[in-house]
Amino acid sequence: MKLFLLLAFNALILFKILDARFFYEASKVDGNADRKALLVFKSQVSANNRLALVSWNDSTPLCQWEGVTCARKHKRVTGLDLGGLQLGGIISPAIGNLSFLRSLNLEDNSFGGTIPKEVGMLFRLQQLNMSYNNLKGVIPTSLSNCSRLVTLDLTSNNIVNGLPSELGGSLSSLENLFLSKNNLSGRFPTSLGNLTSLKNLFIAFNNMEGEVPKTIGRLTQLIRLQLSINNLSGVFPPAIYNLSSLRYLFIAGNHFSGSLSPGFGYMLATLRELEMPMNSFSGDLPKTISNISTLRALDVSENHFAGSVSVDNRLSGNIPETIGDCLYMEEVYLGGNSFDGVIPDIRNLRGLKQFNLSNNNFSGNIPEFLANFSSLVNLDLSGNSFQGAVPTKGVFQHPEEFSVSGNRNLCGGIPELYRVGGSILLLNVRKVFIQVYK
């Protein structure tokens, strides 16, 4: 019995030695395959941009090459980070031979050509970033083979056509999809709703059209949704009301219409920023927005709302006084509508930084409490019917930070407000409303 155990133990030791030697030899061969693939990749980089890859040579160990990360155990290439190296040329299909690659970062370069379909061979890939290049063509359907992908970032390229429906079939681990600033067109595939791990979906500055599919309501983990500057239409997508975890919603510059649900603030109670200017929404601004206690920025400017008290087919009536209950509000943009009446009591919004009520029908005095907002750096009350004296404290001491032009019945204020002729100086305080596309 002892002899049997001794023989078994010796056989086990021998097996481990042979297995380790085999693993070493196999890793060495496969490592050479990685080296070869990267040298082919380098050969497709424009000659005048290769200086950054000077370490990619036969005399330097592979794992010490610029941007290359290897696994500790088997020394296979698991990461390639060439972001911001000003590389040009094309992305070689040989990239698909880096079979252990988990992270590929080529952002902020000048690569042209198309995304090689061979990228779909990288079944271990988790992070893919090719943003801010000059890539053209379509999104390869082969990317659907990268089932472990967590982040796909193709922002700011020249990619055309639409979103491949195949992506929604297998990328169940995808959390971040960044496709803004391309030339994508067509409708959203219904399979988009299968990407149930998504937390960030950015497809702004494209040419997407049609309605947002109902299946987007399945993306219950979504935190940021950026669809601004497209050709999307239909009513405010009802499925968005199901996204109870949503914190940032940007749908500016589309063709959305219809009214917002009265229960808007109850269904999207965790919003921090709501940006929906330059659409065709109608109806009243829901009073339940005050229920969104976390709201920091609200922009519903430049719409063409129509309601029971509409004027010129724009949102009209008084601002809901409940807006003053949004204690964390930092930005409010209601310009370009037809709100009337006086500015409601919002003195509790002490963190307000941007406040734009321009080009409405507001009247009455400018509230003194606005001068107490120590964080306020941009106040635009131009193009209304305010009257009485302009306050002289707080933001009203800095003419470059506020505008009251176009209010003919105002008086007083600091001397810098006036032209030689005595009329109030035209001050241009404006906001660039699209602040995030990635």
Which residues are paired to 250 by β-bridges? 226, 275
434 lies in some domain: no
51 lies in some domain: no
36 lies in some domain: no
Taking the C-alpha atoms of residue 359 and residue 367, their distance in angstroms, rounded to an integer, is: 18
422 lies in some domain: no
Question: Does the pLDDT value for residue 230 go beyond 90?
Answer: yes
Q: For residue 77, what pLDDT is reported?
A: 97
Give the pLDDT band of residue 268 (cuts 50, 70, 90): very high
54 lies in some domain: no
Query: Per residue in 194-209, pLDDT tens?
Result: 999 999 999 999 999 9
Q: Which domain holds residue 263?
A: 68-417
Instruction: Give mean pLDDT, residues 126-134.
Output: 98
Instruction: Give mean pLDDT, residues 81-97.
Output: 96
Q: Of 122-136, 326-340, 369-383, 389-403, where does the model show the most confidence?
A: 122-136
334 lies in some domain: yes
Give the pLDDT band of residue 318 (cuts 50, 70, 90): low
Domain tally for the chain? 1
DSSP 258-318: EE--TTHHHHTTT-SEEE--SSEEESPPPGGGGG-TT--EEE--S-----TT-BTTB-EEP
Q: For residue 387, what pLDDT is reported?
A: 92
Picking from 431, 406, 426, 429, the residue whose alpha carbon sits closest to that of residue 416 is 426
Higher-pLDDT residue of 433, 227: 227
Query: Per residue in 412-429, pLDDT tens?
Result: 888 877 654 444 544 444
13 lies in some domain: no
Q: For residue 329, what pLDDT is reported?
A: 84
Which CATH number characterizes residue 89's domain?
Answer: 3.80.10.10
Picking from 348, 367, 358, 356, the residue whose alpha carbon sits closest to that of residue 331 is 356
Question: Does the pLDDT value for residue 314 go beyond 60?
Answer: no
435 lies in some domain: no
Query: Per residue in 36-71, pLDDT tens?
Result: 999 999 999 998 888 899 999 999 999 999 999 999
For the ranges 17-21, 48-52, 246-250, 384-388, which has the lowest average pLDDT?
Answer: 17-21
Q: What is the longest distance spanned by two Cα atoms in the chain?
A: 114
3-state secondary structure of 185: strand
Query: Per residue in 346-376, pLDDT tens?
Result: 888 888 999 999 988 889 999 999 999 999 9
Taking the C-alpha atoms of residue 158 and residue 113, their distance in angstroms, rounded to an integer, is: 10
Per 3-state DSSP, the chain is made up of helix, strand and coil in percentages (nearest 5) of 25, 25, 50
Residue recorded with tokens 């919004």 = 349
Question: Does the pLDDT value for residue 160 go beyond 90?
Answer: yes
Q: For residue 304, what pLDDT is reported?
A: 67
Q: Of 175-189, 291-305, 400-414, where does the model show the most confidence?
A: 175-189
Taking the C-alpha atoms of residue 187 and residue 212, their distance in angstroms, rounded to an integer, is: 8
Picking from 365, 399, 404, the residue whose alpha carbon sits closest to that of residue 383 is 404
| Share of residues in the chain with pLDDT > 70 (%) | 83
Task: State the pTM of this model.
Answer: 0.82
Q: For residue 418, what pLDDT is reported?
A: 66
Asked whether the CA dihedral 32, 33, 35, 40 is positive or negative, the reply is positive
Q: For residue 421, what pLDDT is reported?
A: 45
The average confidence (pLDDT) of the chain is 85
| Share of residues in the chain with pLDDT > 90 (%) | 61
